Structure formats: structure tokens, C-alpha cells
Amino acid sequence: MGTSVVDLGPRLAVVLVLLTALAAVGGRLSGLGQERPVVVAALRATVQLAAVSAVLLAVVGSLWLSSAFVLLMLTVAAVTAAGRVSGLTLRTPGAPRRVAAAALAVVGGAGPVVGLVLASGTVPLRGEAVVPVAGILIGGAMTATSLAGRRLREELAGRRGEVEAALALGLLPRDAVLLVARPSAATALVPPLDQTRTVGLVTLPGAYVGVLLGGGSPLAAGAAQLLVLVGLLAAQVAAVWIVTELVARGQVLAFLPR
């Protein structure tokens, strides 16, 4: 294997094909009907990671190019989260407003954490460090925004009568929505909380394993993983808070009262 963590040879290609087939067959035999999405997702991941790897070879050497790549990640994250939260496509009227609202949640979650770890010097201000750390935090904020937003959309649609009853009692639209929204949005924090609570006892997450396989000490691996987990938790709490407020103010879900 040399200095590589994974053997980049024919065996890797064969294993990936077999793993994809295993997942697709499982999706078929289980009756879940997810065999096609599994194959498409695997193919997309292969193409996207190949393209991103090629791009990163060129950009990580420059802080400016790395910053531009982080901005691209933020844009994709905002577009993805907007679609998940609203259930609407970019072709539906009002897309710029929805994307801007989702971007506010993602940036509001990931931005302060990235800024803190860079300003403190905990993560060096170099492209090869900034891009992966920013990517992890942006991805976490996007996931939290999407999960909270989807949960809010489903819950408010099913409990609209409660919101209207609260309005009839004289509550402001924001306050009426938050009566239902806050408990529902909090469920989006269950996965990161569980991951943080059980780290080292149930799983050894990616950052820890990556540092170990890269030749780092267990202490360095633990420090890197702790930084990632606590940073993710902070980013996701902020993202859920922001998207909940945006939904309550009618900035994301058009059917809510304003």
C-alpha cells in the first residue's frame, strides 16, 4: 500500500462494484425499492469524487483557490438544503429567496465554527487543511438544515390546525409556528448528539481513523476527532436554530401564515 491508506488498483474497483451490487440487491430483496437509487448514488459519488479529487490537486496549493472552492461547496449546500426544506425545485417561483434563506442557515451554522478554528490557529490557514475542515462543517450544517426543515414542513402541514388555533387566540404568526416547530426541529440534533455521546465506545469516526491510518498517534487522532465532533455539534445547533426561525417567519415555507 505504501503511503496510501487504500490500494488504488483493480481490487478497489472490483470491491466497489461488489459493494454497490450488494446494496442494490438488498434494496431489491427487501422490498424497499431502492436498487436504482443505490446504483445511481454510487455512480454519482464515483464521478463526483474523481472530479473533486482532480480539482483539489490544483486548488489546495493556493489559499485563494481553496476559498473559492469552499464558496462553491456553500452554494451547493444551500441549493440542496433549500430543496429538502421546501420540497420545491429551482424551477419553482421564489427559488432565489428559498436558497438565500437556506444559505443563511448553513453559513450561520458553519461560518462561526470555521472562523474560530482558523483564527485560533488550531487548524493551519492552508488550503489542504481549510478545505476538508470547512467541508465537514458545511456538510454537517447542510444536513441539520435539511433534516430540521423537512421535519418542520411535515409537522406543520399535519398540525396546521394547531397553528391556526394559536393565531385565533391572538399569538403572532412567528410565536404560533414556534409552538409546533421547536420540539420538531430538535429531532434533527439527535444524530449528532448520539454520535458525540458514543464516540470511542460504539464507533471510531472518520477523522480519528483517518489520522491513525495516515500515521498519526492515537492522541493526535483523538484531538482531531474531538475538534470535528464539537465543531459539528456547534454548527448544527446554530443551523437548526436559524432554519427554525426562518420557517417561523415564513421565509422558507410559503404556505405558512405571515
Pick from 19-28, 46-55, 192-201, 223-232: least confident: 192-201
Q: Are 93 and 208 in the same domain? A: yes
In a domain, 14, yes or no: yes
**CA–CA separation, 35 and 44 (whole Å):** 14
Q: Are 163 and 241 in the same domain? A: yes
- Residue 257: which pLDDT band, with cuts at 50, 70 and 90? very low
In a domain, 32, yes or no: yes
Q: Structurally, how many domains does the chain consist of?
A: 2
User: Long-range contacts of range 58-64, CB-CB < 8 Å, 24 or more positions apart?
Assistant: 59/127, 59/131, 60/126, 60/127, 60/128, 60/131, 61/127, 62/127, 63/125, 63/126, 63/127, 63/130
Domain boundary among the residues 42, 59, 76 is at 59
Amino acid at residue number 232: L
Q: Are 17 and 84 in the same domain? A: no
Q: Are 131 and 54 in the same domain? A: no
pTM of the predicted structure, to 2 decimals: 0.80
Termini Cα distance of the chain: 60
Which residue range forms the structural domain that includes residue 231?
60-248
Q: Are 180 and 231 in the same domain? A: yes
Looking at the predicted structure, is the pLDDT value of residue 255 above 50?
Answer: no
Q: Are 82 and 13 in the same domain? A: no
Q: Are 83 and 45 in the same domain? A: no
pLDDT digits (tens, 9 = 90+) for 165-187: 877 887 777 787 788 788 888 88
Q: Are 52 and 110 in the same domain? A: no
Residue 239 confidence (pLDDT)? 93
pLDDT digits (tens, 9 = 90+) for 197-225: 887 777 666 666 666 666 667 787 778 78
Residue 57 has phi, psi (to 5 degrees) of: -55, -30
- Give yes or no for a contact between 101 and 133, defined as CB atoms under 8 angstroms apart: no
